[in-house]
DNA sequence: AGCACGCCGACT
DNA sequence: GTCGGCGTGCTC
């Protein structure tokens, strides 16, 4: 191999090749110029590692250039280190990436990072390692910190640690390192970015050589095996096939009978090829919808509003089927995938190997491989969560967002803070293909967009599936005023009506879902005598209790992931008695045990679904009818389709209604309709009982009537009055710092700046402390901007915002935020 | 971001 | 006088 040159030299000048690389470094928009080493083949679009100051980072090659950038000394030009992978994005795809960057006010690299499989753009790491194996520690006066570092390094198998880790762990890090360096006991080095998702394997390729006289039996066996495999095969396979060790292959390589090289290895997804299930017969409404969809030839926005159980999936699948025949590909976006395994199964059952799946539960390697498959020009179907909206399908013909109202389609923390629906629309327009938004409870945004669209009417469609398939009725919904229950002397958490239905459950051999209207599913711990709640030392949130068979239990922070064991005594008052209060699933199961001992149940919360796949197995157990009742919170609402469920009981809906969030009502309505929709999907009609202390609440009333439109009209009036989306537009500015005073001060300066500079039709709300005032040791403040009509901030304005903040204050901008208080 | 360089206070 | 703290500006 050629030695890697770092810088340009005189001799390079005559015959150089230069590329512009967009490096993965925030705040830098212009590309950097690099030399192409003679032994590397580089194409625009390649993902590469490049040296950048004193480190190596990832980047993407934009184009070749034929002159050095002016005002730069050519001697400063460095060479590309290596190529990670090649990928050619179409012009439309690049346009889309740029549009996303512009709309969400972030750098193009950040969008590219979101679009690529995770961690493909890497960075080097500075590390410290032991030089000598035996260190004479007795030797003289080593400072404490040096001894600590030595001990750590010696304990570690690799005899090395990252600088960052040691800096955090050792208090006099700098001094300790210096002493050790002076004695030449340690050295620092740069560990190159490891792109482990790109699996390389050694490939053996046969060379033409007819002289087989002086070969051994084993060598002949190797050549024979190669011949049988058309002259090339992976080394590992070759060795097992011909039963030899690699030295035999090396000998043959020396004699020029073959050569070896590294090639990328794709892990083919192991699809179980089941028998392909046939299309179902459609209802009249379904085929009407399908006909409209099939007639679409260009960009169009379709809202498919189908009640729960109306067979939206079947419409999607038949639309995709026609699309595939035309040689085009389809993209299907779903909420967090594990919650909708049934949708996945139907697609794979219908289309078999044409379906690939892309979501965050896959390993980096699997995601990378799937992503590579997408680049192939063949009709295919990609099903995935939010980030799959960037699937680089070359011949995209249709984008579907199933359960389009779901909040997991919005990225909230990391830039770009994109909504998959927004990106899907951009792609649809650029690729000139329709997008379908499917839901039983469409987001107000989509409802307004389709009904009061600025598009010519031929480009937006409202398709309704108002009835369930097989003429099954929607479940009846009964609202129970829990104040009356108490008045009548019923102290149970189950109303008399729910008690009666639970009583009948066993003899009818039906199943039930009991739903607790709470966000999240966490158990907190408080002291029984002083009420002290144990909080995270880094964040202003309560720690969450996790059962642990080895100890008393573990308290974890759901935000920064720090943990501690459950204390024996209250740290405040030393009382040994604690109270566990949580989402209420425990209370419900206790009541079930007491009042309905004949019913078996499953609890569905963080304790029971902690392990990977455990919740899928819980759901399987339930859908196979092995238990009577499933008890849980939010996670129960999506895509659960069990025929024998005839009863859904909402123990308390009120936790959903009173949240200090602008969007709380919309989400409460969606949640209640979705959970109600789990009832009566089989032959038996369903029944829903919703318990509340505020039966007169609009959400409760409209849910009772299954009246989506009525809810929407009432909620839209409120949104219009308050200038909230879908009429107004919001930008959330989040400021954070390790120093509490500093953020507050910056927030005020920020406000003053905005008040002076921002356009008139923008209302500035705040500054105010964020909902979680402290997160990962950082104190947080926020400012909300409310625009009367369209977002009017320009990229140059946003750049000025970053300049306001001192370096110790971090600024995050969330465009169209969905959680706001 | 993250790394190097540079300028200033307190400790030899 | 030097060590080591942090502020500032550059990275092909
Ligand atoms: Zn206490
Ligand atoms: Zn925390």
pLDDT(A388) > 80: yes
Q: Binding site for Zn(2+): residue ranges of A? A: 527, 530, 536, 539, 557, 560, 570, 573
- A638: tokens are 């999506």
What value of ipTM does the predicted structure carry? Answer: 0.92
Task: Read off the pLDDT band of A3 (50, 70, 90).
Answer: very low
Contact of A82 with A51, CB cutoff 8 Å: no
Q: In what order do the strands lie in the sheet with A629-632?
A: A476-481, A687-692, A645-652, A511-516, A629-632, A601-604
What is the CATH number for A740? 3.30.70.600
Q: What's the CA–C1' distance between A687 and B12, in Å?
A: 83
Q: What's the CA–C1' distance between A187 and B7, in Å?
A: 28
For residue range A249-301, list pLDDT tens digits in order: 888 888 888 877 777 776 655 555 566 788 899 999 999 999 999 999 999 99
Residue A183: per-residue pLDDT: 81
Listed in sequence order, the DSSP H helices in A337-481 are 341-351, 364-374, 420-431, 444-451
In a domain, A95, yes or no: no
For residue range A535-550, list pLDDT tens digits in order: 888 888 888 887 776 6
Q: What percent of chain A has pLDDT over 70?
A: 92
Residue A1: per-residue pLDDT: 34
In angstroms, the CA A511 to CA A501 distance is 11
In angstroms, the CA A360 to CA A583 distance is 26
Let me know whether A658 and A803 are in one domain.
no
Please indicate whether residue A418 or residue A149 has the higher confidence score (pLDDT). Answer: A418
> Does residue A53 lie within 7 Å of nucleic acid chain B, judged by its CB?
yes
In angstroms, the CA A753 to CA A604 distance is 48
Of A566, A581, A596, which residue constitutes the final position of a domain? A581
Residue A228: per-residue pLDDT: 79
Residue A192: per-residue pLDDT: 94
Contact of A162 with A126, CB cutoff 8 Å: yes
> Does residue A30 lie within 7 Å of nucleic acid chain B, judged by its CB?
no
Nucleotides of C under 7 A from a protein CB: 3-5, 7-8, 10-12
In angstroms, the CA A236 to CA A380 distance is 31
What is the pLDDT of chain A when averaged over all its residues?
Answer: 88
Q: Which residues contact A331 (CB under 8 A, 6 or more apart)?
A: A381, A382, A384, A388, A389, A391, A393, A396, A398, A399, A400, A424
In a domain, A372, yes or no: yes
Q: What's the CA–C1' distance between A176 and B9, in Å?
A: 22
Place of tokens 């590992």: A236
Q: What is the pTM of this model?
A: 0.89
Q: What's the CA–C1' distance between A172 and C5, in Å?
A: 12
In a domain, A114, yes or no: no
- A457: tokens are 């009417």
Nucleotides of B under 7 A from a protein CB: 1-4
> Does residue A802 lie within 7 Å of nucleic acid chain B, judged by its CB?
no
In angstroms, the CA A506 to CA A512 distance is 10
Let me know whether A447 and A534 are in one domain.
no
CA dihedral of A710, A715, A718, A724, whole degrees rounded to 10: -140
Contact of A307 with A440, CB cutoff 8 Å: yes
In a domain, A96, yes or no: no
CA of A537 to the centre of ligand 1 (A): 17
- A406: tokens are 């779901």
Ramachandran region of residue A231, left (φ > 0), alpha (ψ -120 to 50) or beta? left
Let me know whether A214 and A303 are in one domain.
no
Neighbours of A685 (CB within 10 A): 13
Let me know whether A394 and A447 are in one domain.
yes
Q: What are phi and psi of A36, to 5 degrees?
A: -100, 115
CA of A16 to the centre of ligand 1 (A): 72
Per-residue b or e along A168-191, where b marks 16 or more CB atoms closer than 10 Å to that residue's CB: eebeebeebbebbeebebbeeeee
Let me know whether A259 and A356 are in one domain.
no
Residue A126: per-residue pLDDT: 94
What is the CATH number for A141? 1.10.10
The least confident of A20-29, A67-76, A392-401, A711-720 is A67-76
Q: Would you call A245 exposed, middle or buried from its count of C-beta atoms within 10 A (0-12, 13-18, 19+)?
A: exposed
Let me know whether A319 and A432 are in one domain.
yes
- A542: tokens are 């309560």
- A17: tokens are 């090749």
> Does residue A34 lie within 7 Å of nucleic acid chain C, judged by its CB?
yes
A533 alpha carbon, closest ligand: 1
Of A669, A685, A718, which residue constitutes the final position of a domain? A718
Q: What are phi and psi of A376, to 5 degrees?
A: -70, 140
Let me know whether A556 and A657 are in one domain.
no
- A386: tokens are 């939010």
| Number of domains comprising chain A | 7
- A463: tokens are 């398709």
Of A191, A212, A233, which residue constitutes the final position of a domain? A191
Residue A811: per-residue pLDDT: 92
Per-residue b or e along A752-761, where b marks 16 or more CB atoms closer than 10 Å to that residue's CB: eebeeebeee
Alpha-carbon dihedral sign for residues A34, A39, A44, A45: negative
- A150: tokens are 């030595």
Residue A145: per-residue pLDDT: 83
In angstroms, the CA A706 to CA A688 distance is 11
In window 138-177 of A, residues with CB < 7 A from nucleic chain B are: 163
The least confident of A116-125, A241-250, A430-439, A680-689 is A241-250
Let me know whether A629 and A492 are in one domain.
yes
The least confident of A115-129, A308-322, A382-396, A636-650 is A636-650
CA of A155 to the centre of ligand 2 (A): 29
Range of the domain at A56: 17-88
In a domain, A349, yes or no: yes
> Does residue A53 lie within 7 Å of nucleic acid chain C, judged by its CB?
yes
Q: SS3 of A567, please?
A: coil
Please indicate whether residue A464 or residue A616 has the higher confidence score (pLDDT). Answer: A464
Contact of A388 with A357, CB cutoff 8 Å: no
Q: What are phi and psi of A402, to 5 degrees?
A: -85, 140
Let me know whether A712 and A760 are in one domain.
no
Task: Read off the pLDDT band of A793 (50, 70, 90).
Answer: confident
Give A691-725 as a 3 state SS string: EECCCCCHHHHHHHCCCHHHHHHHHHHHHHHHCCC
For residue range A329-370, list pLDDT tens digits in order: 999 999 986 566 778 888 999 999 999 999 988 889 999 999
- A105: tokens are 């006010």
Residue A270: per-residue pLDDT: 54
In a domain, A119, yes or no: no
Neighbours of A208 (CB within 10 A): 7
CA of A774 to the centre of ligand 2 (A): 8
In angstroms, the CA A461 to CA A574 distance is 64
In a domain, A798, yes or no: yes
- A103: tokens are 């709309």
Which nt has its C1' nearest the CA of A21? C12
In a domain, A418, yes or no: yes
Let me know whether A624 and A501 are in one domain.
yes
A557 alpha carbon, closest ligand: 2
Let me know whether A775 and A658 are in one domain.
no
> Does residue A803 lie within 7 Å of nucleic acid chain C, judged by its CB?
no
Let me know whether A801 and A789 are in one domain.
yes
Residue A2: per-residue pLDDT: 37
**Which of A9, A44, A29, A34 lies closest to A108 in space, CA to CA?**
A29
Contact of A816 with A407, CB cutoff 8 Å: no
Contact of A577 with A569, CB cutoff 8 Å: no
CA of A563 to the centre of ligand 1 (A): 20
Mean pLDDT confidence for A200-224: 79
Contact of A640 with A515, CB cutoff 8 Å: no
Q: What's the CA–C1' distance between A20 and B7, in Å?
A: 36
């Amino acid at each position: 191999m050629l030695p890697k040159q770092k810088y340009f030299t005189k001799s390079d000048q005559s015959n150089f090749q230069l590329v512009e690389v967009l490096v993965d470094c925030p705040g830098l928009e212009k590309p950097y110029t690099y030399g192409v080493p003679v032994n590397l083949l580089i194409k625009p679009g390649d993902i590469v590692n490049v040296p950048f100051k004193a480190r190596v980072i990832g980047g993407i090659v934009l184009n070749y250039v034929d002159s050095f950038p002016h005002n730069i000394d050519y001697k400063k030009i460095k060479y590309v280190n290596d190529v990670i992978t090649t990928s050619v994005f179409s012009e439309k795809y690049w346009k889309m990436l740029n549009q996303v960057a512009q709309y969400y006010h972030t750098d193009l690299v950040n969008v590219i990072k979101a679009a690529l499989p995770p961690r493909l753009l890497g960075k080097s790491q500075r590390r410290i390692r032991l030089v000598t194996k035996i260190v004479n520690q007795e030797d003289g006066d080593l400072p404490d910190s040096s001894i600590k570092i030595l001990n750590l390094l010696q304990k570690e198998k690799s005899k090395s640690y990252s600088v960052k880790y040691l800096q955090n762990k050792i208090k006099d890090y700098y001094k300790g390192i210096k002493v050790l360096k002076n004695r030449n006991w340690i050295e620092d080095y740069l560990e190159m970015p490891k792109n482990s998702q790109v699996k390389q394997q050694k490939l053996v390729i046969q060379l033409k050589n007819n002289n087989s006289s002086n070969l051994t039996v084993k060598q002949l066996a190797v050549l024979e095996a190669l011949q049988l495999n058309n002259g090339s095969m992976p080394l590992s396979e070759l060795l097992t096939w011909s039963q030899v060790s690699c030295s035999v292959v090396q000998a043959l390589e020396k004699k020029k009978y073959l050569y070896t090289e590294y090639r990328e290895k794709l892990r083919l997804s192991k699809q179980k090829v089941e028998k392909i299930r046939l299309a179902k017969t459609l209802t009249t409404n379904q085929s009407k919808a399908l006909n409209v969809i099939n007639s679409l030839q260009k960009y169009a926005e379709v809202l498919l509003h189908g009640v729960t159980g109306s067979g939206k999936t079947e419409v999607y699948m038949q639309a995709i089927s026609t699309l595939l025949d035309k040689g085009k590909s389809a993209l299907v976006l779903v909420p967090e995938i594990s919650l909708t395994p049934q949708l996945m199964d139907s697609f794979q059952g219908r289309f078999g190997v044409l379906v690939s799946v892309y979501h965050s539960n896959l390993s980096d390697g699997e995601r990378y491989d799937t992503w590579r498959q997408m680049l192939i020009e063949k009709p295919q179907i990609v099903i995935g969560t939010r980030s799959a909206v960037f699937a680089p399908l070359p011949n995209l013909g249709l984008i579907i967002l199933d359960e389009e109202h779901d909040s997991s389609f919005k990225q909230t923390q990391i830039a770009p803070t994109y909504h998959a629906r927004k990106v899907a629309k951009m792609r649809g327009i650029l690729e000139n293909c329709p997008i379908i938004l499917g839901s039983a409870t469409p987001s107000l945004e989509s409802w307004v967009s389709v009904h009061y669209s600025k598009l010519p009417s031929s480009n937006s469609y409202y398709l309704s599936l108002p009835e369930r398939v097989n003429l099954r009725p929607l479940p009846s919904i009964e609202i129970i005023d829990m104040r009356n229950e108490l008045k009548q002397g019923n102290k149970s958490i189950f109303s008399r009506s729910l008690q009666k239905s639970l009583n009948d459950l066993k003899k009818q051999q039906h199943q039930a879902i009991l739903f607790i209207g709470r966000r999240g599913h966490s158990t907190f711990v408080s002291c029984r005598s002083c009420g002290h709640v144990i909080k995270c030392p880094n964040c202003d949130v309560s720690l969450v209790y996790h059962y642990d068979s080895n100890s008393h239990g573990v308290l974890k922070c759901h935000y920064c992931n720090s943990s501690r064991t459950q204390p024996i005594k209250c740290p405040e008052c030393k009382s040994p008695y604690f109270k566990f209060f949580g989402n209420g699933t425990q209370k419900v199961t206790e009541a079930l045990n007491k009042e309905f001992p004949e019913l078996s149940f499953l609890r569905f919360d963080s304790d029971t679904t902690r392990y990977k796949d455990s919740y899928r197995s819980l759901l399987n157990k339930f859908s196979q009818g092995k238990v009577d009742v499933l008890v849980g919170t939010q996670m129960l609402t999506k895509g659960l389709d069990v025929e024998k469920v005839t009863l859904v009981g909402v123990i308390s809906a009120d936790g959903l209604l009173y949240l200090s969030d602008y969007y709380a009502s919309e989400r409460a309505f969606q949640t209640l309709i979705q959970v109600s929709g789990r009832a009566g999907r089989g032959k038996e009609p369903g029944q829903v009982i919703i318990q509340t202390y505020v039966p007169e609440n609009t959400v409760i009333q409209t849910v009772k009537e299954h009246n989506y439109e009525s809810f929407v009209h009432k909620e839209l009036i409120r949104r219009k009055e308050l200038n909230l989306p879908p009429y107004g537009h919001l930008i959330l500015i989040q400021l954070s710092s390790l120093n509490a005073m500093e953020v507050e001060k910056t927030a005020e300066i920020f406000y003053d700046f905005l008040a002076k500079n921002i356009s008139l039709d923008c209302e500035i709300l705040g500054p105010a402390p964020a909902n979680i005032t402290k997160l990962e040791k950082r104190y947080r403040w926020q400012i909300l901007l409310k625009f009367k009509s369209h977002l009017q901030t320009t990229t140059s304005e946003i750049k000025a915002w970053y300049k306001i903040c001192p370096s110790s204050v971090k600024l995050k901008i969330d465009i169209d935020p969905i959680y706001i208080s």
